Amino acid sequence: MGVKVIIPTPLRQFAEGNSEIEVEAKTAGEALEKLTTEHSELRTHLYKDDELRSFVNVYVGDEDIRDLNGTETAVAEGGEVLIVPSIAGGNLAGQARAKSDLPELTQEEYARYSRHLILPEVGLEGQRKLKNARVLMIGTGGLGSPLGLYLAAAGIGTLGVVDFDVVDESNLQRQILHGTKDVGRPKIASAKDRLEDINPNTNVEAFETRLTSENALKLFKDFDVIVDGTDNFPTRYLVNDASVLTGKPNVYGSIFRFEGQASVFWAEKGACYRCLYPEPPPPGLVPSCAEGGVLGVLPGIVGSIQANEVIKVILGAEGILLNRLLLFDAWAMNFRQVKLRKNPDCPVCGDNPTVTELIDYEEFCGLPNAVEERQETLEEITATELKQRLDAGEDLQLIDVREPHEYEIAKIPNTKLIPLGDVVKRRNEIDENRTTVVNCKGGVRSAKAIKKLQEAGFSGRLINLKGGIGAWSDEIDPSVPKY
């Protein structure tokens, strides 16, 4: 019996779809070397210059190998090596006040919260703490929907919500805070209406704005708990750093495809998000839910876990997810927990912090440089231009780099399917003497495919379809389904 290496969802496409692979190894490093030798594309995602990337954590059992012997950490026969990439107790500060200072409940509230009141872990005092609490929720999307619904229903006194997006049809598969009638409305308006309907006793403070380095500290200072319902790395690091600098607990959740993560980051009592992931992954390395998909019920489960932790933090309960990372796989239906430790060298919450004010988080995550680099090296074509050139009889070959199940949903006529994970090893199927237009759903994976082909020595002309098949549906053929 060898050692099992557990492959997370975002990396399975580079391991032939496997969720776990058994290798013969005595250490974590040896297991990873054998894994990446067998599946060479994984190496780019796990290593940089033969060192494990900072946004990829590796656990043996429930211990981070950084807290053990690093890659030399021994793994027993039959043991597991768990790869965890970034995808995101005690009384609450400001809540430790005398019972007489807590707000009283009305007769209606006694009836509304009766199932809480008869729980000894909550009781009358606990419900008054919830009524007294001020919680700021960042985002009203997949995670923010169950978060908002359950926090309002639980009797949180003031619920702040931050969002600047509008409701889109593609949101409705999972963002249950919004309905069909809300399509096209600002999410903040839809959310406020629904939350006030759930519980008119909850004061909903709506902030229709993008969270930025300029407004985060001002927003955070008036709330007791921050809940991270974001879906991108710049905002996630911003939420973390602003929470540390204002001394607020940060209840974290993230989702991708079938997998979710949850934790409570509270620098005064333990680790922060940067202790877990010191640096973000390079732009484009981790696909978004729009590109990779997400099971509709997954944010409901993870968001509900976050709501649970918010309530426990306010109540001063034991057993909050402090210094623990909860990992959930909805497809395999299993939960795992791994330990987190405060990093004394953490740049924001460590012994000698270097981040003492909020920074440019898009620059920190490499986004401006990525855009500039893309503009310099990537030739693009619009759907309208492509149609015109095809109608003119130009000899173009069309390559679609989506997955086969996506190709079944919608396709541009006369395209050849070569999924992104296969594009390099099947490059001989692409004629280098013809101009090639590469497409995907929105233009992200096709750009990656072009870069991979160029790096592999492909010498033909490669053009990216700007906006992907979604743009083709918008500009050329509305009968092509958008998904």
- Write the CATH number for 62: 3.10.20.30
Joined together, the tokens standing for residue 387 give 């149609």
Strand partners, 329: 259, 334
pLDDT reported for residue 377: 67
| C-beta of residue 446 within 8 angstroms of C-beta of residue 402 | no
Which strand ranges, in their side-by-side order, compose the sheet holding 20-23? 20-23, 3-6, 80-85, 56-60, 63-64
Pair 384, 358 in one domain:
no
Secondary structure (DSSP) of 64-131: EGGGTTGGG-B--TT-EEEEEE-----PPTTT---GGGSPPPPHHHHHHTHHHHT-TTTHHHHHHHHH
Neighbours of 38 (CB within 10 A): 12
- Name the residue range of residue 43's domain: 3-85
CA distance 122 to 130: 9
Residue 101 lies in a domain: no
Pair 53, 169 in one domain:
no
| Cα–Cα distance list, 24 to 66, 72, 227 (Å) | 22, 15, 42
Domain-terminating residue out of 321, 351, 370: 370
* H helix runs in 186-232, sequence order: 187-198, 216-220
Joined together, the tokens standing for residue 373 give 């680099």
Pair 384, 365 in one domain:
no
Closest by alpha carbon to 273, among 59, 67, 63, 54? 54
Pair 222, 342 in one domain:
yes
Backbone angles phi, psi at 207, to 5 degrees: -120, 95
The tokens 């981070």 sit on which residue?
64
DSSP E strands in 323-379: the ranges are 324-329, 334-339
Query: What's the one-letter identity of residue 54?
Result: S
The tokens 């791994």 sit on which residue?
338
Domain-terminating residue out of 370, 401, 435: 370
Pair 366, 423 in one domain:
no
Residue 118 lies in a domain: no
Residue 413 lies in a domain: yes
Residue 28 lies in a domain: yes
pLDDT reported for residue 428: 95
Pair 258, 389 in one domain:
no
pLDDT reported for residue 374: 44
* This prediction's pTM: 0.76
Pair 362, 408 in one domain:
no
CA distance 234 to 232: 6
Pair 286, 354 in one domain:
yes
pLDDT reported for residue 315: 97
Active site residues: 289, 440
Closest by alpha carbon to 349, among 224, 248, 232? 248
* H helix runs in 203-338, sequence order: 216-220, 233-246, 273-276, 289-292, 298-315
The tokens 């629904």 sit on which residue?
194
Domain-terminating residue out of 85, 115, 150: 85
Pair 209, 303 in one domain:
yes
CA angle 199, 205, 210 (to 5 degrees): 130
* H helix runs in 187-297, sequence order: 187-198, 216-220, 233-246, 273-276, 289-292
| Cα–Cα distance list, 84 to 52, 54, 64, 76, 468 (Å) | 12, 11, 10, 20, 30
| C-beta of residue 446 within 8 angstroms of C-beta of residue 438 | yes
| C-beta of residue 238 within 8 angstroms of C-beta of residue 361 | yes
Pair 360, 430 in one domain:
no
* H helix runs in 133-198, sequence order: 144-154, 187-198
Residue 193 lies in a domain: yes
- Write the CATH number for 470: 3.40.250.10
Backbone angles phi, psi at 320, to 5 degrees: -70, 165
**Residues of the chain scoring pLDDT < 70:** 1, 87-100, 284-287, 367-377
Residue 128 lies in a domain: no
Pair 76, 204 in one domain:
no
CA angle 324, 236, 272 (to 5 degrees): 35
pLDDT reported for residue 57: 87
- Domain tally for the chain? 3
Pair 361, 383 in one domain:
no
Residue 90 lies in a domain: no
Residue 100 lies in a domain: no
- Write the CATH number for 258: 3.40.50.720
